[in-house]
Amino acid sequence: NFKGSYCTCSRPYPDPEAKEQVEMIQCCICEDWFHEDHIGLDSLEKIPRDEEGEPLYEEFICHQCSPVCYFLKLYPDTIWASSKQSSASEAVTADSNGMEGGSSGHADTEKNENGAPVDRQSIENTSVEENCTKDIAASDKSILGDNSGGNCKIGVDINTTSADSEKTMPFFMSKGWRETLCKCGTCTNFYAQRGIAHLTDKEDSIEEYEKIAKQKREKKLEQQEGAEANFINSLNHVQKIEILSGINDMKNEFQSFMESFDPSKPVTSDDVKSIFENLARKKQRLS
């Protein structure tokens, strides 16, 4: 983003006019960043979160890009992230319907917050652990089939499907959802034509980016620690003692300053300058 403006509101981040800098989320299709208030939801409670407010989704597709990804509605519910709270309420509803003597036709056509058909019985029997990548892959394979031999997982020509005419909504995707995507020739060409071929690239996922960033950070820390160790090892005994003494003198000087400093006043550059001048005078007296 070379313009420096984000979201549908086209505001910069950080926003100099905002009283508080709110968190933004990134769309994995257009890669733009959005304020949660501007993603097309009538309530922020529809964003999948746990009881502590932490996101339960791995990736986000904004409401502007979701029409391009309408084919995702052909996949099982396991690719969609859903909050524990909504799942619990749905399970209670399913139980009450069962006690009343069966399910209604409404349950067959009901859709979740992403616009995908919801199978009440499937939600009731789905545990929290089934959101992990391993279980998603196993359950989806049994539902969709395996396209390792070139067969299409979804069983229909993806080019003949059309987007819903209803209001476009953002998609919140569960962990490992990309691994579920069909990679047959027809679907692969479909992704390429719509500019979303990166969805099948394992190295393009947020999880992979975080993994690479972690590796780089750990490597940098190792290099820094190694450089510090090499520097210390290059010093003789007298030099090491001088460094330790200097650190101790600085600590004592700062402590003395804080004890005599008026906390109601700001620390000025002159105050900092006086600290180092005192340290220099003490060093001169010792030498």
Q: Indicate if the pLDDT at residue 137 is higher than 60.
A: no
For residue 20, the model assigns a pLDDT of 84
Q: Indicate if the pLDDT at residue 190 is higher than 90.
A: yes
Please tell me whether the overall predicted TM-score, pTM, comes out greater than 0.75 for this model.
no
CA dist 76 and 144 (Å) reads 8
Domain boundary among 180, 200, 220: 200
Tell me, yes or no, whether 216 lies in a domain: no
Q: Is the peptide bond before 263 cis (omega within 30 degrees of 0)?
A: no
Domain boundary among 175, 200, 225: 200
Domain boundary among 182, 200, 218: 200
Q: Which of 117-131, 135-149, 250-264 is predicted most confidently? A: 250-264
- Given pLDDT bands bounded at 50, 70 and 90, which one contains residue 114? low
- Collect contacts of 82-86 with beta carbons under 8 A, ≥24 apart: 82/48, 82/56, 82/112, 82/113, 82/172, 83/47, 83/48, 83/49, 83/50, 83/56, 84/50, 84/51, 84/56, 84/128, 85/51, 86/48, 86/113
**pLDDT tens per residue across span 39-74:** 988 888 889 998 888 899 999 999 999 999 989 999
| Count of domains for the chain | 2
Beta bridge partners of 59: 173
Tell me, yes or no, whether 150 lies in a domain: yes
Q: Indicate if the pLDDT at residue 80 is higher than 90.
A: yes
For residue 15, the model assigns a pLDDT of 86
Sign of the CA dihedral running 32, 33, 35, 36: positive
**pLDDT tens per residue across span 214-233:** 888 888 888 888 888 888 88
Which domain does 255 fall in, by range? 235-286
For residue 149, the model assigns a pLDDT of 52
Tell me, yes or no, whether 218 lies in a domain: no
Tell me, yes or no, whether 159 lies in a domain: yes
**pLDDT tens per residue across span 25-38:** 999 999 999 999 89
Residues 11 and 110 in one domain: yes
Name the region of 115 (left: φ>0; alpha: ψ -120 to 50; beta: rest): left
For residue 168, the model assigns a pLDDT of 82
Mean pLDDT of 232-261: 89
Please provide residue 173's backbone torsions phi and psi, each rounded to the nearest 5 degrees: -100, 145
Tell me, yes or no, whether 217 lies in a domain: no
For residue 133, the model assigns a pLDDT of 47
Mean pLDDT of 88-99: 44
- Given pLDDT bands bounded at 50, 70 and 90, which one contains residue 75? very high
For residue 279, the model assigns a pLDDT of 87
Mean pLDDT of 248-276: 89
Mean pLDDT of 129-140: 48
Q: What percent of the chain has pLDDT over 90?
A: 24
Residues 20 and 131 in one domain: yes
Tell me, yes or no, whether 133 lies in a domain: yes
Query: Nearest 5 degrees, angle CA 25-CA 209-CA 12?
Result: 35
For residue 171, the model assigns a pLDDT of 94
